[in-house]
A and B are shown apart, each in its own frame.
Chain A
């Protein structure tokens, strides 16, 4: 078998378009998903209450069902219920909900590792409830779970390949499309695999760069 990458050249625009879609889906998902996770972890950490239970249900449903099923449920299910949703929006919502649920659980582990006494002490020292939560609970929690968080975000980026199934023009969609036209599956998927690999490595490096700034107080720590 001979490799012929020149057959990919006419389709480089497709690969670029797919790459851009995968990138922006990942960036938006990372920011909104982590924000969602903070809210979920905060509410669940307050303990009882109907909201806490509802969010617990959400976390369990997302963590115990396949991503593609969640995606199909949103894409095919919601319009049938009279809620129109485009393929891109369905993909974005599914990815955010997915990252939110997993990160909320990871974050809760980090929060639990901070002794309650520290929280109470900071309150006694005059910090407001929110200040205390932010500086004494959240930031140390993030610094502890940061490696897991990086992995989770990369998993969601790689998992986004599934959104090609509902016709979102992401990197995998571009690869499938090209493969259906020039029948050069090996070349196409080799190139796309490399791109995903670079994306994952790039994400890890940027996360670590940000982490070094955010958690400067833990120099030499595990982050």
Chain B
């Protein structure tokens, strides 16, 4: 009995080792799918988030929904191929691309040098920024001097707190609250008429309170999202860039922004 168990253990160990090696080889030799492969296959595989509204979440009908999902649908429609959505987290979205499990990553991906070393990026397709938001009737502020005399609510210790404290004039009152929920309450109850936050949070507030939807009046920091694809894939990159440009021209991006962020696209993304 003991001998048999031991035997089985060895057999399993060898099998497991083989599997690991084979998987490893497959990963190393994973050839990124180029435009031709995708068109032959007839399916575009896209990594999308499912835990980051309004970019990607799961709707009440259990279907993925959001800005990124709409973008994926738009690209597949324009390329006249089927769409396969692959749910990813922010940690595994780049490995999915590197191992050719997906052709594109449309997952609120920001550009930075570390990522640019391993994958390639298209043009920006989605807005992602920190800003000062006011009530719907608030006037836009062009320069930092325009913030003087204003009272701005912000969540203490957040990136927007640091950036705002850095650039706000001395007579700007920055009211710091403990967490995002309290900052939002302060804005919605009318305690502050301006808050500094990200466009994603602003969109969530707008979703629930249309009559006091936060409207961007001043941009603090801009880091738009890009579509990620594997390196040395020029044909696919050109194709996607052309389609992003078309989406800007035909108003698709604008209507997606209205739908998911309840606001117009910022200038650097609109045509």
Chain A residue, CB-CB nearest to B183: A167
Interface centre among B161, B186, B191 (most CB of A within 10 A): B191
User: Which of the four size classes fits the interface of chain B?
Assistant: 10 to 19
Q: How far is the CA of A87 from the CA of B189 in the complex (A)?
A: 12
B176 part of interface (Cβ distance < 8 Å): yes
Query: CB-CB < 8 A to B190: which residues of A?
Result: 79-80, 84
Contact yes or no, B178 A180, CB < 8 A: no
Interface of B is mostly: mixed
A146 at the interface (CB under 8 A from B): no
User: Given A87-B191, A177-B156, is A167 in contact with B186 using a C-beta cutoff of 8 Å?
Assistant: yes
Query: In the complex, how many angstroms separate the beta carbon of B25 from the nearest chain A beta carbon?
Result: 45
Q: Quick check: is B175 within 8 A (CB to CB) of the other chain?
A: yes
CB-based contact A79/B175 at 8 Å = no
Is the CB–CB distance between B156 and A165 below 8 Å? no
Q: Report if B129 contacts A (CB, 8 A).
A: no
Contact B177 A165 (CB under 8 A): yes
Contact A176 B191 (CB under 8 A): no
Residues of A within 8 A of B186 (CB): 76, 166-167
Q: Which of A65-106 contact B (CB under 8 A)?
A: 75-77, 79-80, 84, 87
Report the bound CA distance from A203 to B157 in whole Å.
33
Contacting residues, chain A, for B182 (C-beta < 8 A):
165-166
Is there contact, CB below 8 Å, between B156 and A75?
no
Whether A76 lies near B153 (C-beta < 8 A) is: no
CA distance A84 to B151 in the complex (A): 15
Within A164-219, the residues touching B (CB, 8 Å) are: 165-167, 173, 176-177, 180-181
Instruction: Contacts A75-B191, A167-B186 given; indicate if A180 touches B157 (C-beta within 8 A).
Output: yes
Chain A residues near B153 (CB-CB < 8 A): 167
In the complex, the 10 A-B pairs of residues with the closest C-beta atoms, listed nearest first: A180-B157, A167-B175, A79-B190, A76-B189, A79-B189, A180-B156, A80-B189, A76-B185, A165-B178, A167-B177
Q: Which residues of A contact B (CB under 8 A)?
A: 75-77, 79-80, 84, 87, 165-167, 173, 176-177, 180-181
